Structure 1
Amino acid sequence: MAEDMAASVYPPPPLPSPPTTQLPLNLSAPPSPSPPAIPSASATQIPSTLNTLASLDLDSSSEDAPGQPVLLSRIYKSKRIELSDDRVSAASNKGYLMVRATHGVTSGTWSFEVKIVHLGPTGHTRLGWATNWADIETPVGYDAYGFGYRDIDGAKVTKAWRDKYADEGYGEGDVLGFYIYLPNGEQYEPKQPNKGMPLHVQVPKKTQKTPDPVPGGFEYPMVLAYAGSEICYFKNGLCQGSAFEDIPGGRYYPAASMYTEPGNPNCIIKFNFGPNFEFLPQDFGGLPIPQPMSMVPHHAYEVKNEGPTENAIAG
């Protein structure tokens, strides 16, 4: 009898194939649903709705893979900022919080666009460039690691100070261009011993500056600045002038911060990393013509004791 039962559970393999072994069926357990698909090593699955990804265990190695386009980072953003499925739009209905792109640059001339999709009665934005040392729980320009362009009056902001810049602000429907020129940037980027450590920059105070509501007051030791570097902003294809020059060394990422008072609809913006821009400026005022941020190549993350090295281009 035992031999008959064993034969019924473990039928002999067909000849002439080599013998195989089958696992016994668990007849006492009810059928279980199919297990979820396991994401491949080259990509991370994300939910199909706007999300903050607070519940996902993401690390630097899963941010993106070779060949993937430049997108908004799911890691280097405030958890309270929501991203669209395609990771080119961002939304927030909280205080000023930051999100930045997956790829940064240390050398060359680069540009991207941002469209103001929705502000509402209380929405505001500060958009621009930020290094990998910028605090993502603050607006762009809160510290010396970010250089922002403010919607309310078109002011420029860095180190929690705002200066008069453009003749007017911007609003819903406007398309803003962001230009950065980093000549010989590999000479000025902080070296390996400083990776993962806070770097500060001494920014000389100028006259006629207005203090920003965001608190500042930090002391910044000196680091090298990009000699001849420049940041310019555009509004619907028109250059608003030179905003910042001789900026500190570092890796610069497209960055955005948004603000909305509680109980109001999200403030929404949409990035365009190129190569097809809605407004392609015809005049860069003698500065080099930029490449679109979409052309920045992928660089693998390198995680060491000193801290992470992120997507960037040098040289």
Structure 2
Amino acid sequence: MDTLQAAYRDEDDEEDEPANPTAPAITSSYPVEPQNGVRTDPEASDDLSESIKSQDNDDEDDDDPPPKKQKQLSSLTVQPSDQDQTPLPQITADNGASITAATAAPTSAANSKKSKKKNNNVWVTKSTRKGKKKNKTNNHNGPAEDTVLITPVQRFPDKSDDMPDLQICLSKVYKAEKVELSEDRLSAGSTKGYRMVRATRGVVEGAWYFEIRVEKLGDTGHTRLGWSTEKGDLQAPVGYDGNSFGYRDIDGSKVHKALREKYGEEGYKEGDVIGFYINLPDGGSYAPKQPHLVWYKGQRYVCAPDSKEDPPKVVPGSEISFFKNGVCQGVAFKDLYGGRYYPAASMYTLPNQPNCVVKFNFGPDFEFFPEDLDGRPQPRPMVEVPYHGFDNRSENGESNEKKL
């Protein structure tokens, strides 16, 4: 019996002896379990290799995977793929040197098969819903240069409103619906609250002048008269927003952006003649680009402005002044933005009252043309403003647009 125990002891000593006697003994900082329940020592005997193969075959035949609590430590020592940069756990030797777990314990064929099954797990798929949604959105986006934005034009200049052989008058298109015009389109009246009407032609540069006679105010009538750009709100009085400049009959105040400021010594009344002077020196250099008008599928459109368009520019030396019966009331507004300015008027009276009526005079014969301009440039009558409408026709679905 003692002889058999000595023989087994000698065999165990041979198996535990390292292949290289000079190499230091390796100690693990944590207990290393055998992979798949079998030791993978490279110096194992042939019988031990056969037992490994038989156990691998048993694992392949087993359809039920082990529960998570019984997961083998060998699955943690599988070599990562090229894309996985997670460092492998290290094992420290007696002499202080460190080697990776892949060197200390090679991976078996069974472990590689299990790692493939693990990679097919749906819970670790790298694709996300957010990424798919983003890609889908990008596929529908077209190049920005191919996108053209157009907006329907509700009010468009046409031949019935202004023609080259006509003179300046009040517009049938650019007015509030409740504003009534005379047959000669020089007088305007309203009883439905403050509403605006503007002339058919405007000015961009130079000094210009026109007059308005207050024909009838009545007991409850009021007016706000002045200038408006193309963007002025027709359903509001002159001076309601930043696109119009008004002169008020009550206390003679000036109105801009709905703010009233003290201006004249006193207001004006029925029968007075108000003069309107504007000066835009070299205003054409500061005016914004005119909108591009197109005809598309039987509808008139205007192309959307360029997002990179320069902001409005102030015209140096520009001003608006008002005159009452030929007497200047002083400079009302200055440093105007470049653009086209139209003569405009708005009327108001209470219901069940006669219309509040004003009459325009675009020249050349004025009732109270200013005798003293106080150094201002001599203005031209608005009747001399040239035609600047559009000749727009649609032929075979194509637009033939000319600006005169």
Pair in the same fold by TM > 0.5: yes
* 2: CA distance, partners of 1:251 / 1:178: 15
Please tell me the residue identity of whatever aligns with 2:365.
N
Q: Residues 102, 73 of structure 1: CA spacing in aligned structure 2 closer, same or farther, 3 A cutoff?
A: same
- The list of structure 1 runs, each at least 4 consecutive aligned residues, that deviate by more than 4 angstroms after superposition, is 193-199, 309-312
Higher helix share: 2
Taking the TM superposition and a 5 Å limit, the aligned residue runs for 1:109-148 are 109-148=207-246
* 2: CA distance, partners of 1:174 / 1:82: 21
Please tell me the residue identity of whatever aligns with 1:73.
S
Could you say what the CA RMSD is over the residues aligned between the two structures, in angstroms? Answer: 2.5
Task: Show the counterpart of 2:398.
Answer: none
Taking the TM superposition and a 5 Å limit, the aligned residue runs for 1:69-88 are 69-88=167-186
Answer 1 or 2: higher relative contact order, Cα 8 Å, separation at least 6. 1
Question: Does the CA contact (< 8 Å) of 2:391 and 2:403 recur in 1?
Answer: no
Task: Show the counterpart of 1:262.
Answer: 351
Please tell me the residue identity of whatever aligns with 1:137.
Q
Are residue 60 (structure 1) and residue 60 (structure 2) matched? Answer: no
Are residue 155 (structure 1) and residue 253 (structure 2) matched? Answer: yes
Q: Which runs of 5+ in 2 are unaligned?
A: 1-153, 294-301, 394-400
Please tell me the residue identity of whatever aligns with 1:106.
V
| Mean CA deviation greater in 141-150 or 188-197 | 188-197
Are residue 227 (structure 1) and residue 325 (structure 2) matched? Answer: no
TM-score using structure 2 length:
0.54
Identity of aligned residues (%): 55
* 2: CA distance, partners of 1:311 / 1:258: 33
Deviations 1:79-135 (A, max 9, x none): 100000000000001110000000000001000000000001111000000000101
Please tell me the residue identity of whatever aligns with 2:221.
G
1:228 match: secondary structure: coil
Structure 1 position 303, deviation (Å): 6.0
Structure 1 position 192, deviation (Å): 3.7
1:274 match: secondary structure: coil
Please tell me the residue identity of whatever aligns with 1:166.
G
Report how many residues are paired: 231
Task: Show the counterpart of 2:386.
Answer: 297
TM-score using structure 1 length:
0.69
2:158 match: secondary structure: helix
Deviations 1:32-71 (A, max 9, x none): xxxxxxxxxxxxxxxxxxxxxxxxx995222111121110
Question: Does the CA contact (< 8 Å) of 1:223 and 1:249 recur in 2?
Answer: yes
Task: Show the counterpart of 1:168.
Answer: 266
Taking the TM superposition and a 5 Å limit, the aligned residue runs for 1:85-104 are 85-104=183-202
Q: Residues 188, 93 of structure 1: CA spacing in aligned structure 2 closer, same or farther, 3 A cutoff?
A: same
* 1: CA distance, partners of 2:192 / 2:351: 6
Question: Does the CA contact (< 8 Å) of 1:178 and 1:231 recur in 2?
Answer: yes
Q: Residues 281, 145 of structure 1: CA spacing in aligned structure 2 closer, same or farther, 3 A cutoff?
A: same
* 2: CA distance, partners of 1:133 / 1:227: 21
Please tell me the residue identity of whatever aligns with 2:158.
S
Q: Residues 311, 236 of structure 1: CA spacing in aligned structure 2 closer, same or farther, 3 A cutoff?
A: farther
| Bigger Rg, structure 1 or 2 | 2
